[in-house]
Amino acid sequence: MFAVHQVIYSNSDIEMWYDWNTRLEDTKFTDQCFWIMCDDNRIGGVIKINDTLMFPFIIPPFSDRQLMWRILLNCCEDIRNVNGVLQDDVNILLSLGFKVNVIRQVMCCPTGVSKKSVTPKGLSFYYLDDSFEITKIKDVMKEGYREGIDYEIFGVPNDEKIMEDISYLLQVYKQRNLSIYVVNEQNQEIVGLCIAGISDKMPLGFAEIGELCVVPHYRNKGIAEFMLNHIKEAANTHTELVKLCVTVGNYAEILYKKAGFQAGPRFARMTKRSMW
Question: For residue range 230-248, what is the model confidence (pLDDT) as tens digits?
Answer: 999 999 999 999 999 999 9
Same domain, 123 and 151: yes
Do 37 and 139 fall within a single domain? no
Q: Which range of residues forms the domain containing residue 227?
A: 108-264
Which range is least confidently modeled, 3-12, 35-44, 93-102? Answer: 3-12
Show the DSSP H helices in the chain as ranges.
Answer: 2-9, 20-27, 65-75, 87-95, 138-145, 148-154, 159-172, 223-235, 252-258
Residue at 102 is within a domain: no
Strand-pair partners of 183: 124, 190
Q: What pLDDT score was predicted for residue 275?
A: 59
In a domain, 273, yes or no: no
126 and 155 in a single domain? The answer is yes
Three-point CA angle 108, 198, 120, nearest 5° = 70
Query: Is residue 34 included in any domain, yes or no?
Result: yes
Please enumerate in sequence order all residues whose Cβ is within 8 A of that of 20, keeping only pairs 6 or more positions apart, or say none.
7
Indicate yes or no: pTM above 0.75.
Answer: yes
The answer on 91 and 71 residing in a single domain is yes
Does 208 lie in the same domain as 112? Answer: yes
Domain membership flag for residue 101: no
Cβ-based neighbour number of residue 60 at 10 Å? 9
- Determine, yes or no, domain membership for 274: no
The burial of 100, by beta-carbon neighbours within 10 Å (0-12 exposed, 13-18 middle, 19 or more buried), is given as middle
When divided into structural domains, the chain yields a total of: 2
269 assigned to some structural domain? no
Pairing of strands 81-86, 98-110: unpaired
Residue, of 4 and 17, whose pLDDT is higher: 4
Residue type, 68: M
Mean of pLDDT values over 106-132: 90
Which of 9-13, 153-157, 196-200, 250-254 is modeled with the greatest confidence? 196-200
Residue 23: is its pLDDT beyond 70?
yes
Looking at 60, 76, 96, the residue that finishes a domain is: 96
